[in-house]
């Protein structure tokens, strides 16, 4: 137990707490800027089983903040390299890689049996998808975001409100690290807080991290936070994410990507049009149809769905075909 001596001596941990960490099963979605500190601290602390989920490959622009990776591994799968590095850090942990993207079709299987899910994906579509599933399954979710010099981390679902209860709507323009930029120590700070929340939840520390939000502003060197235990879940139909293969011929499918971005439609017979067309006079589905709106990240689909809701009250589903440079 020499490896964990400095944390076992804490009254909040002790031998019993270390045994709980050893028995814990954690799923971490994303091995990038947030995932780097989260994964290293969790494995170093002695988490028994960690599944790393990330479909991306290492690029040179990652290296200033994704400190699990090195120049020589550019082009390699992030999840695979992360597992190699983490196994060298603590061979006592059972660390596995999944290099497939998390989507509505596999989210249940991916998190099944986990004690907690950790959202480090830098994708609002993944965050909402995870939150929807974790809320329905009663599973704890620690999610975080970092952009520029600011960020937040919060404990959602299980016995706490979901992400939608705190963030029911997206901002007019949802930025990403690719569009807004970020400093490495910012994601390192937020990721370290995220790892602390995971450990605190698994150890049962009080006050509970579920229902707690921590905000970080490293432009002003300010930390804040608030509890949202009483936040109400949004009422009415929600914009849920589905996979492209869940689209049926009866659906009213809309392709929001242009031909240059997506030469092939995401669904046979889909109508191709831009988000701007939805603002004043959107195409309206027939009664009984489900509207399915598709873009790259889900952001444009969310905007179009919000505009469509002003004219039509039927069911709406969103398809995110893969995050990439840009805003959706």
Known catalytic residues are: 177
Look-up: residue for tokens 């988490």?
Answer: 47
Instruction: Report the distance separating Cα 311 and Cα 284, nearest Å.
Output: 8
Residue entry with tokens 């994704």? 66
Is the Cβ–Cβ distance between 143 and 56 less than 8 Å? no
Token pair for residue 205?
A: 């520390």
Report d(CA 152, CA 273) in Å as an integer. Answer: 35
Distance CA(50)–CA(53), nearest Å, equals 10
Contact of 146 with 190, CB cutoff 8 Å: yes
Measured at the CA of 47, the angle between CA 43 and CA 52, to 5 degrees, comes to 60
Beta-strand ranges (E) seen in the chain are: 25-29, 49-53, 94-98, 116-119, 140-147, 150-157, 212-217, 222-227, 240-241, 252-255, 271-272, 291-295, 316-320
The token pair that represents 153 in the structure block? 């981390």
Query: The tokens of 2 are what?
Result: 């020499």
Residues in the chain: 328
Alpha-carbon distance of 137 to 215, in angstroms, equals: 27
Q: How far apart are CA 306 and CA 325, in angstroms?
A: 23
């Amino acid at each position: 137990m020499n490896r964990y001596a400095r944390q076992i001596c804490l009254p909040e941990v002790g031998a019993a707490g270390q045994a709980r960490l050893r028995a814990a099963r954690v799923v971490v979605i994303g091995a990038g800027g947030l995932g780097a500190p989260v994964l290293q601290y969790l494995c170093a602390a002695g988490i028994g089983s960690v599944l790393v989920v990330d479909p991306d490959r290492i690029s040179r622009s990652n290296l200033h903040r994704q400190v699990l990776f090195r120049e020589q591994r550019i082009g390699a799968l992030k999840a695979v390299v992360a597992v190699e590095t983490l196994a060298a850090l603590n061979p006592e942990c059972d660390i596995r890689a999944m290099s497939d993207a998390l989507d509505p079709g596999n989210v249940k299987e991916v998190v099944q049996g986990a004690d907690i899910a950790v959202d480090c994906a830098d994708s609002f579509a993944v965050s909402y998808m995870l939150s929807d599933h974790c809320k329905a399954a009663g599973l704890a979710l620690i999610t975080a975001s970092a952009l520029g010099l600011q960020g937040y981390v919060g404990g959602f679902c299980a016995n706490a409100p979901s992400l939608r209860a705190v963030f029911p709507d997206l901002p007019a323009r949802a930025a990403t690290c690719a569009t807004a930029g970020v400093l490495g120590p910012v994601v390192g700070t937020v990721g370290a807080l995220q790892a602390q929340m995971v450990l605190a939840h698994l150890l049962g520390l009080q006050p509970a991290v579920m229902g707690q939000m921590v905000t970080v502003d490293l432009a002003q060197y300010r930390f804040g936070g608030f509890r949202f235990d009483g936040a109400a879940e949004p009422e009415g139909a929600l914009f849920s994410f589905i996979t492209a293969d869940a689209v049926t011929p009866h659906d009213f499918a809309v392709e929001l990507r242009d031909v240059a971005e997506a030469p092939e439609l995401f669904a046979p017979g889909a109508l191709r049009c831009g988000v701007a067309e939805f603002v004043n006079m959107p195409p309206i589905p027939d009664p009984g149809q489900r509207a399915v709106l598709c873009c790259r990240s889900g952001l444009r689909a969310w905007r179009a769905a919000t505009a469509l809701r002003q004219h039509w009250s039927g069911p709406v589903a969103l398809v995110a075909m893969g995050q990439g440079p840009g805003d959706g």
